[in-house]
Structure 1
Amino acid sequence: MDVWRRLTNREAPRQADTSSRCVAESASVSHDFVLVNYSQISDLSPNEAVTSGHFTVGGHDWFISFYPGGWSTTRYSQRETEGPGYAAASVCLRREATTVMIVKARITIGLVDRHGTMANRRTPDTDHFCAADISPTFPGFVRRSKLTSRRYLVDDCLTIRCVVTVINPRTEGTTAAPAAAALLPEMLGHLQCMLEDGKGADVTIEVGGRAFRAHRCVLAARSPVFDAELFGSMKRKDVERVEVHDMEPAVFELLLRFIYTDSLPGDDEGCGVAMTQHLLVAADRYGVNKLKQACDMKLRRSLDVQNVATTLALAEQHQCPLLRDACLKFMSSSPNVLADVLKTDGFRHLTASITS
């Protein structure tokens, strides 16, 4: 019997390999809710709210509810950050606009100070939101005494900013043998190892006194400029050594890392706003469009009084319309913000570059 089983199993056709995958897609939107003449609504009763206009994120309509007098229940929470001394806020799904009962999202909300920076940030304890919810997401949003502080109340206007990121996991159907798709993260890890250990590297790129070993085929596949320099019409006689001028080694190092790993490092990895600005220039120079888009998005989320003018100049020079519009919207958000921007060195450099 055992011999027969082995024979029949050996002759039986092998089933095709199958796989499926879940792709977590996300969409993010920042919304400012400006309360004009705040003094006229500051004494609203508990549970009485003012609401923002609707804004759409991830195919769902949302709105902000703000309770200047706080949120009253039969029993207050024992936590310090809730109670009658606090104003409440909520970020809600519009009930009539969604047929989905529960939406997974990340939310950050806070007051905008006179410099245009979101402070007093709050995030909810849960990341699941239901259109039927009526209680505030943030019952202890902010102490009511802060609402009249000169830091936040500008010309009797108060601004609440929230950033909503809707996460929509999408499971793709089971297909036969999609091995390449399933192994993509592992492949990127192998490419990173190739970059770090230098095995098989066949070109040296010199940037500001530093030498980077790389692989011509990878550079050419990811950048049309490198493709032309190494294989095309711009090909140099010595393709084993390339010099890059007018770029800092640290910037090129992050560009090279993205070419191999398709990932942008965080602020704590040496990629703050200033570095991201330089990296956007490098990405545009070498035609790495995905990196340019990633830098564009990161800069839009990092705007403040000190960097908005320099970011606007970059957006104009490197054809980034979304970034340009975000800068102009930020600068015109209030007279005080614009006045503070006009005092910065970045704005003076911007005007000088326009007039020269």
Structure 2
Amino acid sequence: MNNQASRSPVFKAMLETEMEESLSDTIKLSDVSHGALCAFVDFLYTAEAPLDDDMACDLLVLANKYEINHLKNYGENFLISKLNWESSLKNYSFAHQHNAKTLLDDALSLILDTMDNLNEREEYLELVEKDPRLVVNIYEAYYSKTGRCCRCHQS
């Protein structure tokens, strides 16, 4: 994997320093499903991977963790191509969690375009409970976009 390790600064550091991985010439990835691991390795060798929503998310998480920007862009672009009103809140939260800036921006844009229906969505209520700071970010972006004042809701 040494050639492929050069595609990841994290792998490269693991194999070129006095870490356990360099001593054994083995990198153990225990926090990943078998399917995602196979797709990840395939991508390292071929720059392609079969994607669905779940696999794109799994690979984006791995890409973020191991700093493989090409894979991160690959997963992000797939998720963006599937982005719709129903998936926008879930993808916004996911993108925020995994530093996927392009997906974050596109999901936020879609959310802002449908703000009138936001409070009615079950995903919104879950986000209020799980990560209220993201809800604040959404409203700050909305008020910034519309030119309204956050406190008085007036222009």
With normalisation by structure 1, the TM-score equals: 0.34
Change (3 A) 1:338 1:283: same
User: Could you say which residue in structure 2 is the equivalent of 1:301?
Assistant: 81
Cα distance, 1:264 vs structure 2? 3.3
**Aligned partners of 1:327, 1:278: CA distance in 2, in Å?**
18
Cα distance change on mapping 1:236 and 1:262 into 2, 3 Å: closer
| Distance apart, 1:233 and its partner CA | 4.5
| Residue 236 of structure 1 pairs with residue 21 of structure 2 | yes
Q: Distance in 2 between matches of 1:337 and 1:234?
A: 51
Shift of 1:307: 2.4
The whole-number CA distance in structure 2 between the counterparts of 1:278 and 1:237 is 25
- Does the Cα contact within 8 Å between 1:218 and 1:260 map onto a contact in 2? no
1:128-143 equivalences under 5 Å are none
Residue number in structure 2 paired with 1:354: 131
C-alpha distance in 2 between matches for 1:335 and 1:288: 34
- Pairwise CA distance, 1:283: 0.6
Contact 1:277/1:311 (CA < 8 Å) preserved in 2?
no
SS at match of 1:252: helix
Paired with 2:5 and 2:129, the residues of 1 have a C-alpha distance of: 37
Q: In structure 1, the residue corresponding to 2:21 is in which secondary structure?
A: coil
Match of 1:39 in 2: none
Aligned counterparts of 1:220 and 1:243: Cα–Cα separation in 2: 13
Which one has a larger percent helix, Structure 1 or Structure 2? Answer: 2
1:227 deviates by 1.2
Distance across 1 between alignment mates of 2:55 and 2:114: 28
Q: CA deviation at 1:237?
A: 6.4
Equivalent positions of 1:6-25 (< 5 A) are none
Alpha-carbon separation, structure 1, partners of 2:58 and 2:128: 20
Q: CA deviation at 1:337?
A: 4.9
- Structure number with larger C-alpha Rg: 1
Structure 2 equivalent of residue 250 of structure 1:
35
Deviations 1:291-316 (A, max 9, x none): 10111122112112442222111211
The corresponding residue for 2:150 is: none
Out of 36, 48, 53, which is 1:273 matched to?
53
| Aligned residue runs from structure 1 range 136-175, under 5 A | none
Give deviations 1:2-59, integer Å, cap 9, x for gaps. Answer: xxxxxxxxxxxxxxxxxxxxxxxxxxxxxxxxxxxxxxxxxxxxxxxxxxxxxxxxxx
Alignment of 1:81-100 (within 5 A): none
2:108 alignment partner, SS class: helix
- Cα contact 1:331–1:337 (8 A) shared by 2: no
2:27 is paired with a residue whose SS is: strand
The correspondence of residues 1-356 of structure 1 with structure 2, limited to 5 A, is: 216-236=1-21, 238-265=23-50, 271-335=51-115, 337-339=117-119, 342-344=121-123, 347-355=124-132
> Where does the alignment leave 5 or more consecutive residues of structure 2 unmatched?
134-155
Offset of 1:350 from its aligned partner?
3.1
Ranges in structure 1 where 5+ consecutive residues have no aligned partner: 1-215, 266-270
Cα distance, 1:232 vs structure 2 = 2.1
Paired with 2:129 and 2:119, the residues of 1 have a C-alpha distance of 18
Q: Check conservation: 2:15, 2:22, Cα contact below 8 A.
A: no
SS of aligned partner of 1:254 = helix
- The CA distance in 2 between the partners of 1:306 and 1:246, in whole Å, is 28
- Aligned-residue identity in percent: 25
Q: Distance in 2 between the 1:277 and 1:245 partners?
A: 17
| CA RMSD in angstroms, aligned pairs only | 2.4
1:343/1:353 CA distance change after superposition, 3 Å: closer
Structure 1 distance, partners of 2:84, 2:111, is: 9
Contact kept in structure 2, 1:279 and 1:295, CA below 8 Å: yes
